[in-house]
Amino acid sequence: MEVVVVGGGRMGEALVGGLLATASIPPEEIGVVEVSAARRDALAARFPDLQLSPVVELAAAASGAVVAVKPPDASGAVGSLASLERPPARVLSIAAGVRLAALEAASRGTFPVLRAMPNLAAVVGASATGLAASGREEDLSWAEGVLAALGTVTRVPEKLLDAVTALAGSGPAYLFLVAEAMVEGGVLAGLPREAASQLVRQTFLGSARLLVETGESPEGLRGAVTSPAGTTAAGLRVLEGRAVRAAFVDAIDAAAARAGELGGPVSHEPGRS
């Protein structure tokens, strides 16, 4: 098989859905190992052609396996793949905070191990995923091809995955907080809550599309809607006066520090970037 996903939860399902939707891999080449019978039933109902199994043998001799179980289960899942008589050619973990050193110890040198950090937008195929850029190019290319089903992929040295976690992993939560606050502002300005909510959702979508599709810098786009002595300038003066910019910088710094504490030290073996 081309890809076997170990753990058919929210992220595993998003990955399978993305791989099938992009049609990059035929359905019979995609498998899911899932211990929960209820989850297997749900996956079978949504993806009738999918190969499903409660046991890891499904991944025998696969081109690659993706470990998408909860972080405390990730090393165990890698260990059971390493115990196969014919192990997969490579294993990619998306478990948050589980370092390559721990995954490599669990693999006992049986296969190359890769590590990536997607974000919640993977469920709509719009993840901003960081991929630890260490290992052989053929393994990284395989991982990139699989992760493309979830959204964009940015290669970074493993030591910067904590920063990816702080920025892109936690990022949606920061933006949801901004969205909540903007709805409240709209209500204060007199809009019915439902209308304010609809306007905020579309403002987020439109702003994201402008950022991505025009390739303009955030500064350039902000300048384009800030006319001299206008309404946007009046609003921005309040945000800058309350140090919102500095608060975001500090929030991402604090989240990166917390990711570092939770994950433990990053290995600095020779050859690791």
State the nearest-atom distance from the C-beta of 34 to ligand NAP, in Å: 5
Cβ closer to ligand NAP: 12 or 18? 12
Cβ closer to ligand NAP: 10 or 201? 10
Output the residue with the shortest Cβ distance to ligand NAP: 9
State the nearest-atom distance from the C-beta of 160 to ligand NAP, in Å: 16
Cβ closer to ligand NAP: 69 or 84? 69
State the nearest-atom distance from the C-beta of 69 to ligand NAP, in Å: 4
State the nearest-atom distance from the C-beta of 262 to ligand NAP, in Å: 11
State the nearest-atom distance from the C-beta of 96 to ligand NAP, in Å: 3
- Give the residue from 99, 128, 130, 134 showing the smallest Cα distance to 116: 130
Cβ closer to ligand NAP: 74 or 200? 74
Binding site for ligand NAP (CB under 6 A): 6-12, 33-36, 39, 68-71, 73, 76-77, 94-96, 117-120, 169
State the nearest-atom distance from the C-beta of 150 to ligand NAP, in Å: 10
Cβ closer to ligand NAP: 124 or 225? 124
Cβ closer to ligand NAP: 119 or 134? 119
Q: Report whether 168 contacts 128 (CB < 8 A).
A: yes
Per-residue DSSP letters for the chain?
A: --EEEE--SHHHHHHHHHHHHHTSS-GGGEEEE-S-HHHHHHHHHH-TT-EEESSGGGGTT-S-EEE-S-HHHHHHHHHHHHTSSS--S-EEE--TT--HHHHHHHHTTSS-EEEEE--GGGGGT-EEEEEE--S-HHHHHHHHHHHTTTEEEEEE-GGGHHHHIIIIISHHHHHHHHHHHHHHHHHHTT--HHHHHHHHHHHHHHHHHHHHHH---HHHHHHHT--TTSHHHHHHHHHHHTTHHHHHHHHHHHHHHHHHHHH-PPP--TT--
State the nearest-atom distance from the C-beta of 101 to ligand NAP, in Å: 17
Q: Report whether 12 contacts 36 (CB < 8 A).
A: no
Cβ closer to ligand NAP: 64 or 186? 64
State the nearest-atom distance from the C-beta of 14 to ligand NAP, in Å: 8
Cβ closer to ligand NAP: 9 or 145? 9
Q: Report whether 168 contacts 119 (CB < 8 A).
A: yes
